[in-house]
Copies of this chain bind each other. A is one copy, B any other.
Amino acid sequence: MPNPISAQLRFAVLATDVVCFRVASGRLEVLLAKVHLPPFYKNRWGLPGGIILADETAEQSVERHLKTKAGIAQVYKEQLATFSRIDRDPRNRVVSVAYLALMHGGEEREPTATETRWCPLAEVPKLAYDHDEILAAATERLRSKLSYTNIARYLMPRAFTFSELQRAYESVLGHVLDKRNFRKRFLSLGLVRATGKKRKEGAQRPAELFAFTGTGLRTLGL
């Protein structure tokens, strides 16, 4: 059952897929979207995404699909890679430009559609299409960029404690870090600054609140 649009074509159709991460309750979560496409996929999960229209860029396509499917806007995005395996879509030839998107969990931006959900990375089921591969690429990109950029700023709210920041790192990297060295590194590199405010939360010493310095993504060691 070839799709009538691409069946007449000698060329591929272009789409985008987004791997949107957040850290919530100290866990790394991915945004998933329901895929219902009998006879190939029945009630599977996949990444949100869709066609690139003739009058939009890949990035605009990502924005549109995130907004439409999950009510998410204004998040950090970067292009990941383009996936072009010939049989990656069982219906017809679709080439997909994949994006990595990051947001923070504190802001209570829950998906509007019931057809999307946040899923802890460790519990992601087998996904439709080649989305497992795309997710793996995104995870790898995020992991490595955490070490040599300040990309974590997009996973954190405006103000945060060092414990929260460290938990974000640990949940992405998958291993624990030393508290003192962690703190020292961020402060000596000037990546974060104290806001002067404190957060009281439960029966313990109040934590100082920090914010990332500057704006935008910064690559270290340049």
- Chain A residues packing against B (C-beta within 8 Å): 5-6, 9-14, 51-59, 79, 81-82, 84-86, 93, 95, 97
With beta carbons under 8 angstroms apart, the residue of B5, B12, B59, B84 that contacts A84 is B59
Q: Contact: A52 with B82, CB < 8 Å?
A: no
| CB-based contact A84/B52 at 8 Å | yes
Measured between beta carbons, the chain B residues less than 8 angstroms from A55 are 86
Interchain Cβ contacts under 8 Å between A and B, 19 examples: A9-B9, A10-B53, A10-B54, A11-B13, A11-B14, A11-B51, A11-B52, A12-B14, A12-B52, A12-B54, A14-B14, A52-B95, A54-B93, A55-B86, A56-B86, A58-B95, A59-B84, A82-B82, A95-B97
A53 to B55, CA, bound (A): 22
Ordered nearest first, which 4 A-B pairs have the shortest CB separation?
A58-B84, A57-B84, A82-B82, A82-B97
Nearest chain B CB to A99's CB is how many angstroms away? Answer: 10
Q: Is the CB of B58 within 8 A of A82?
A: yes
Q: How many angstroms from the CA of A54 to the CA of B89 in the assembled complex?
A: 13
Check A14 against B95 for contact (C-beta < 8 Å). yes
Tell me the complex Cα distance, A56–B12, Å. Answer: 9
Most buried by B among A6, A53, A55, A82: A82
Which of B11, B13, B82, B86 is within 8 Å of A5, CB to CB? B11
Question: What B residues does A97 contact at CB under 8 A?
Answer: 82, 84, 95
Contacts of A51 in B (CB 8 A): 11
